[in-house]
Structure 1
Amino acid sequence: MRALVTWQKKIFLLASAGFFVLSFAPRPAENQSGDEPLTKSKLGEKLFFDPILSSNRTISCASCHKPEFAFADTMVLSLGVNGQVTDRNTPSAMNLAGRIHLFWDGRASSLEMQALQPIAAPNEMNLPIAEAVSRLNADPYYARAFRNVFRTNASEKTLADALATYERTLETSDTPYDRFINGDDTALSPAAQRGRIVFIGRANCANCHAGEDFTADRFKNIGLYDGKKLTDPGRFAVTKDSSQLGHFKVPGLRNVALTAPYMHNGMFKTLRQVLEYYNKPDDFVRNGHNRDLSLSTPLNLSENDLTDLEAFLHALTDERFVKRIKK
């Protein structure tokens, strides 16, 4: 699967170089001159940025998944329609093509399943899917667009298909790290190279953040549930398995320097705070319920180690974002 995703990423990079150089503003879903045919991904992109999918037509998927921040949000908790607060921090919508669990609690097993849930969620876009479909079919542009792409009217299935197809284009692989592992020994700074060794070795980050997108697609309890102040049950809410109380999906780390704040509850404002937590969890949360054994004792990393680790994580930033991350 990872080999397939790598191949898809490389093809997408070659085919869409202009997309990376230009802004992330949505392109028109259809060229009025007829020169450029409408595709599923272009239709999905149009829908992703269109507030037509929210009950009061005020927010879109991109309102919380901001392109300039690697399709994540800068708020601890995003705001849905009428200013309603969402339940968890908004994760990046990038590099999800190979994922087998979506959302912090893993309640969706495909991008098609994931794409519809924020639309229907009362504190997000608050639009029942049946109503969303009726709205699209009543809109002259979208009625024509869905017939052109799918040869049928908009439906729950075709809406999910279009959005998921667009999300699968949001793959990145043009980072200093990628150039380094592909043979450019100068692509990583000395600090980032040292941080990579710490990441793989003494810090053991790669135990969970493994693979091409730096996630093992597992659920872990890192101690952010204590049943008192920190009460989100995580994966337990889906499985009802008491052994998964406080477990959350291990996120990928590509472009992580852009996606602050961090964790399912957005409790850490900076990458440095995240690293300091892993280094000494008890300094932040005491009595975390069934914290993973890998965090049972402090890592005892030095300040230099933490600085090097942070440099390595910055090196996972795709080139399209480099100017923003340097600001």
Structure 2
Amino acid sequence: MSKDSTLNCASCHNPKFAFADTVAFSIGVGGKLGNRNAPSVLNMKNRPYYFYDGRAASLEEQALMPIANPLEMNLAVADAVDRLNKNKEYLNLFYKVFKQKPTAQNLSAALAAYEETLETVNSKYDDWANDKIKLSPAEERGKTLFTGDKAKCFDCHFGPDFTGDEFKNIGLFNSTFITDSGRYDKTKSIADIGKFKVPGLRNVAVTAPYMHNGIFKTLEEVLHYYNNPNGIFIHPQNIDPALQKPLGLTKREQTDIISFLKTLTDKKYKKNA
């Protein structure tokens, strides 16, 4: 599916790691580096926005963008469709499913249909939510912190997939050495500078590195950052009010939150957690 036929979707969205990548920036055609971390594509069904800046409003719209992106697959969508039409196996499959030859529209529909199957609801947390098990003391403490006023995680990470699908600036923009302006690229609204789509947290323990730029290698680094963003990067611009003051989490409290986050790992990925 790439210009030189060396890459496919799984090249950057590795099924072994909850369909995420294990490096900060994935390598595209010709060795080019992407400019944002490849997120997990699990649990993407019915999301209102896609990509960190929300530039796609549907899975179908999202599906074709990496193909044409010069930093990723660097293949014109028309050329991708032409390849499919020249492949007898794919041609037959498209006629079987769509009753017509491959087009850009049904290619995006096919990719989106597959992505919609990638839902995970078989974690320790799900067993707890269904009254099948109890959480450990550390996990229970972490859950209480996660949903409480001290850690404030639940302010942004709520709902079945632990995301409100909102855009937030968590302090990773200062216009000097952290310069990705995020949602602003789409809206051109000053209020959106440095804002990025809040990701879901299911399987988060196996999708390192973290943030839109892959700047944090571990969940420990993430919690350390959230505990006092201003103590890590100076002069963040437009940071969310909830993060303007240190949270005051102790080391044990941070560890407990991580223990809870690990309960969100689907059992099929547990060995990688």
Show CA shifts across 1:156-211 (max 9, x none). 1100000000000000011111111111342x221111100000112111110010
Match of 1:225 among 150, 173, 181: 173
Output the CA distance in 2 between the equivalents of 1:324 and 1:287: 36
Output the CA distance in 1 between the equivalents of 2:79 and 2:238: 43
Following superposition, the deviation at residue 235 of structure 1 comes to 0.3
| 3-state SS of 1:265 partner | coil
Structure number with the bigger relative contact order (C-alpha 8 A, sep ≥ 6) is: 2
2:145 corresponds to 1:198: yes
List runs of 5+ in structure 1 lacking aligned partners: 1-52
Tell me the equivalent position of 2:269.
Answer: 321
Output the CA distance in 2 between the equivalents of 1:136 and 1:181: 44
One-letter code aligned to 1:69: F
Output the CA distance in 1 between the equivalents of 2:195 and 2:238: 9
2:169 corresponds to 1:209: no
- Aligned-pair Cα RMSD in Å: 0.7
Output the CA distance in 2 between the equivalents of 1:142 and 1:321: 30
Tell me the equivalent position of 2:190.
Answer: 242
2:104 corresponds to 1:122: no
Contact 2:164/2:198 (8 A) holds in 1 = yes
Tell me the equivalent position of 1:257.
Answer: 205
Following superposition, the deviation at residue 286 of structure 1 comes to 1.3
Output the CA distance in 2 between the equivalents of 1:62 and 1:55: 15
2:115 corresponds to 1:145: no
Tell me the equivalent position of 1:15.
Answer: none
Output the CA distance in 1 between the equivalents of 2:270 and 2:239: 35
Q: Normalization by structure 2: what TM-score?
A: 0.98
Output the CA distance in 1 between the equivalents of 2:165 and 2:252: 29
Give the number of aligned pairs. 272
List runs of 5+ in structure 2 lacking aligned partners: none
Match of 1:305 among 234, 253, 273: 253
Output the CA distance in 2 between the equivalents of 1:172 and 1:95: 7
Determine what percentage of the aligned residue pairs are the same residue: 51
Tell me the equivalent position of 1:285.
Answer: 233
Q: Normalization by structure 1: what TM-score?
A: 0.82
Contact 2:209/2:216 (8 A) holds in 1 = yes
Output the CA distance in 1 between the equivalents of 2:67 and 2:51: 14
Runs of 4+ in structure 1 off by over 4 angstroms are none
**Pairwise mapping of residues 1-327 of structure 1 onto structure 2 (< 5 A)?**
53-186=1-134, 188-201=135-148, 202-325=150-273
One-letter code aligned to 1:234: G
One-letter code aligned to 1:89: N
